[in-house]
Amino acid sequence: MDKREEMKKIRDEVVALGGALAQERRANGTLPVLGEGNHDAEIMFIGEAPGKNEAATGRPFCGAAGKILTELVESIGLTRDEVYVTNIVKDRPPENRDPLPDEIMLYAPFLDRQIHIIQPKVIATLGRFSMDYVMRLFGLESDLEPISRGHGKAYKLTAPWGSLHIVPLYHPAAAIYTRSLRDTLDEDFKVLLTCLI
């Protein structure tokens, strides 16, 4: 499989997509946000949906939350270039509202393909929408609990490509508003390294 070519196919399909968010993107002259990083990454970060900065640049997690994510990745001895970062929804919901269930359903198949292209050893979900979707995708719905209890836990399973850990994390934006969550994220990120051993 040529991973770059497969990612280009996804990009082209998202660019041509219908739906309210895509129509708004075209009307506003903003960009879809596919994801970026290493197509052979061991760790894949999955957020919920792009914000204003992301839609303006086409890059995931490039605003204040992205700065925190970059610092957290570097705190475990990696760089953004070594991991892969994306969202479930590839177009920005208006006013940064939460993605709606039908929007998640529309964009989720693209994420599913990205996961199978990258074949990560660890999927770190960022925020409750991502946690809910990814855990259900891999048959872990019975393990779902509020993110306040589930964050930092590692769920091990066997994916079609081999061993996989799913680690729910708070969204980095939460640390902007609640300082103590930054300390929690610092601790939870250490769990990602233990999953690679």
pLDDT tens column, 103-160: 999 999 999 999 999 999 999 999 999 999 999 999 999 999 999 999 999 999 999 9
- DSSP code of residue 91: S
**Run of H or E including 36:** strand 36-37
Average pLDDT over the chain reads: 96
The conformation of residue 92, written as its DSSP 8-state character, comes to: P
Q: Which residue bears the tokens 């994420």?
A: 111
Helix pair angle (179-196, 64-75), 10° resolution:
40
Q: How many domains does the chain have?
A: 1
Residues 151-175 have pLDDT tens digits of: 999 999 999 999 999 999 999 999 9
Q: What's the pLDDT score for residue 59?
A: 97
Separation of alpha carbons 115 and 190, rounded Å: 22
Handedness of CA 87, 93, 136, 195 (dihedral sign): positive
Q: Quote the pTM value.
A: 0.97
Q: Which residues, in sequence order, are CB contacts of 64 under 8 Å at separation 6+?
A: 173, 176
Question: Using CA atoms, how far apart are residues 166 and 143, in angstroms rounded to an integer?
Answer: 11
CATH number at residue 37: 3.40.470.10
Strands 36-37 and 84-87: antiparallel
Give 99-167 as a DSSP string. PPHHHHHHHHHHHHHHHHHH--SEEEEESHHHHHHHHHHTT-GGG---HHHHTT--EEEEETTEEEEEE
Domain membership of residue 173 as a residue range: 3-196
Using the predicted structure, report yes or no on whether residue 1 has a pLDDT greater than 80: no
